[in-house]
Structure 1
Amino acid sequence: MKPVVYLDHAATSWPKPPEVMKAMQIAMEEAAANPGRGSHQMAVKASRVLFETRRVLSRLFGVHNPNDVVFTHNTTEALNLAIKGLLHKGDRVVATMVEHNSVRRPLEFLKRTLGIEVEYIPVNDQGELDMLKLKAALSKRPKLVVCSHSSNLLGSILPAAEIGELAHEQGAAFLLDAAQSAGCLDLDVNAMHVDLLAFPGHKGLLGPQGTGGLYISPSIDLEPLLHGGTGSQSEEKEQPVVRPDRYEAGTPNTMGIAGLKAGVEKVLELSPQQIYKHEWGLTQRIMEGIQNIKGLRILGPERGKPRTGIVSFVSAERDSSGIAFQLDREYGIAVRAGMHCTPLAHEAADTLQTGAVRVSVGVDTSIDEVDTLIDAIEVIFDKT
């Protein structure tokens, strides 16, 4: 097997920084007890791991109170907590056509079971949101506005701060899905009018899988997704009201959260601005390298425009899954092909029937790796 050129960072970043693995090992050795469930030294160390991770995440996202950051296993769980914890029978929601299934499926579930109303605002084939239709939808006074900060298919970046401001003008809460933006775009929950921020630990924050979280504005109270032991107010039959305990029933992933802290510290050291600049430059190189290949169409924003570290493409002559399989088996290049869990975005890009090949770069991706990809694609298409 050839050495891996890993270009699937939009799914999970890899390799993880050495600091992440070291932090996880130390936590396993020194803080492996249950946080919040004991007063002995190891339990106290475990609690400190969680608090310090909340603190660095708060620094990254502009959160005033670290206890407003709750841990989940991934962005999907965070989005489910936000959506199912906030909405009730008959509520109205505005979302967009670039939403991931982690947003769309909970919304459609509540549409079927509670009768909520959902309107998806269209985007064009470059992933740009129709702001006139958004404003018209907001005039109907929805309870919640949901927005994917960056499309996991198109790489387009939505104007989150403007959407949040418009949502607040109409009295709606604003939920931002930062699955593709946390770590590479500036995020400030107050400046961007964000009430709920769902984020993964295992992507741009460079942490391990099984980590993520949700920022919950102090002005919002969600019904917990899980009910159970928290180590606090154990004599009560109801879930505690104090944060973060209210939303963190059960034993947490302390080792993973320790790794997440190290990953976030690495992001803060490099800065999201520099990470974005690096990844954007690589996407432009990929687009320049493959744009003239016959029958190949690049999705999302045109070259030179803002995008996160994603370049997706389709071929009029080749199957997307076949291209990805060939890149893997013949060239040792890891990319992803298929529907990418975002069918409405595929509809906007006219790839609902074909899927797409998605190349996604990361903080450690090199120019040599990108050039290896370009050369491999040129050879594959020349063979046709």
Structure 2
Amino acid sequence: MNEVVYLDHAATSWPKPPGVLAAMQKAMEEAAANPGRGSHQMAVQASRVLFETRRVLAQLFRVKNPNNIIFTHNTTQALNMAIKGILKSGDYVVATMIEHNSVRRPLEYLMRTLDIQVDYIGVNDQGELDMQQLEACLSKNPSLVVCSHSSNLLGSILPIQRIGELARSSGAVFLVDAAQSAGVLDIDVESCCIDMLAFPGHKGLLGPQGTGGLYLSPEIELEPLIHGGTGSQSEEKEMPSVRPDRYEAGTLNTVGIAGLRAGVEYVLKETPQQIYEHEWALTQMMIDGLKGLPGMNLLGPAQGKERTGIVAFTIEGRDSTEIAFRLDRQYGIAVRAGMHCTPLAHYAVRTDKTGAVRASVGANSTEQEVQRMVEAMRELVR
């Protein structure tokens, strides 16, 4: 493959730290048996892989008991587990206009099947939440408040600590979608009053695809999304009552989870704060280079404001998909174009008819890559 300027980290981070591949290879060679399904050495080693990964994730998110971290295949599965496991017929939910379809579609499904009610809190052009509207909706005693920590279109960062405090005071369960923030923003589930935290392994945590998880407060019980074998309490016809077994039916992706551990250890060593500062500096450099180009409309927080490593934009009179295609084929620059699985956010900033081009940096992105993106765009808009 030719050299790629990879600016699609909001979808999946790449390349991974070298330790990720090494950990996965070691797991395949030494721990490729089923965890929790046997007492032989390879099965025990596989179980140890899971335990150690839960431990470092608990350290990252300030979780007291690692067994309250449930492994999933991705954030989407974690969000479905949380939303479908907590809501009951007639419940009222407060969400936001920056939600990904991984939140919106389960909610819309439950609106049809369980007659739940949902209000989506508005955001302004910079992705800032309408806090007055939020407080008005919280006065109606919702069962669940769910929000993205950071928009995957705008890069805006929601004040989850304040939202969590308001949700708790209203008696609502608070679910945070950390798809764009895990590994990049500091997350303390206790201080932010987070009851459930859904996160991916393959983005800011720098692990492989097919990994992710859900932090579940010890105060919260969900109906399991999937039923099946766990290797524990096999004589019972119901799922086990103990965590994490209750929510982890079937064989887990042990090899991928081993890679996830290595990714999280890299994040802990570098620290989310340093990674955020690196990504923020690159986004400011990109904004500075793109602003003022003919027809350029930059989305999200203004230059100098806090944001995650996302810079999305439209060019007046130009198709976003065509721009992304030409960046790839002519310049070897990988970005994403379209609706980004977040139509509500596009409605909020009036790009629902055009979509947008999204360039997103990561922990290992460089100034040279950003400069190549800026130079390519200058040529394309001439």
- What is the match of residue 157 of structure 2? 157
Q: Secondary structure at the match of 1:42?
A: helix
Q: Secondary structure at the match of 2:318?
A: coil
RMSD across aligned C-alpha pairs, in angstroms? 0.5
Structure 1, residues 257-309: CA drift from partner, whole Å, max 9, x if none? 00000000000000000000000000000000010101010000000000000
Once the 2 structures are TM-superposed, how far is the Cα of residue 363 of structure 1 from its aligned partner?
0.5
Q: How many corresponding residue pairs?
A: 382
Correspondence 1:121 to 2:121 = yes
Q: What does 1:124-139 align with in structure 2 at a 5 Å threshold?
A: 124-139=124-139
Cα separation, 2, equivalents of 1:3 and 1:373: 14
- What is the match of residue 308 of structure 1? 308
Cα separation, 2, equivalents of 1:3 and 1:28: 29
- What is the match of residue 85 of structure 1? 85
Q: What does 1:187-202 align with in structure 2 at a 5 Å threshold?
A: 187-202=187-202
1:2 and 1:331 in contact (8 A); partners too? no
Q: Report % sequence identity.
A: 71
Q: Secondary structure at the match of 1:379?
A: helix
- What is the match of residue 146 of structure 2? 146
List 4+ stretches of structure 1 deviating above 2 A. none
Correspondence 1:367 to 2:367 = yes
- What is the match of residue 228 of structure 2? 228
- What is the match of residue 47 of structure 1? 47
Q: Secondary structure at the match of 2:123?
A: coil
**Amino acid across the alignment from 1:166:** L
Q: What does 1:1-384 align with in structure 2 at a 5 Å threshold?
A: 2-382=2-382
Once the 2 structures are TM-superposed, how far is the Cα of residue 49 of structure 1 from its aligned partner?
0.2
Once the 2 structures are TM-superposed, how far is the Cα of residue 2 of structure 1 from its aligned partner?
4.3
Cα separation, 2, equivalents of 1:51 and 1:80: 24
Cα separation, 2, equivalents of 1:273 and 1:317: 38
Structure 1, residues 173-209: CA drift from partner, whole Å, max 9, x if none? 0000000000000000001000000000000000000
1:6 and 1:333 in contact (8 A); partners too? yes
TM-score (norm 1): 0.99
1:168 and 1:193 in contact (8 A); partners too? yes
Cα separation, 2, equivalents of 1:363 and 1:238: 43
Once the 2 structures are TM-superposed, how far is the Cα of residue 317 of structure 1 from its aligned partner?
2.0
**Amino acid across the alignment from 2:197:** L
Once the 2 structures are TM-superposed, how far is the Cα of residue 318 of structure 1 from its aligned partner?
1.1
Q: Secondary structure at the match of 1:33?
A: coil
Once the 2 structures are TM-superposed, how far is the Cα of residue 3 of structure 1 from its aligned partner?
1.4
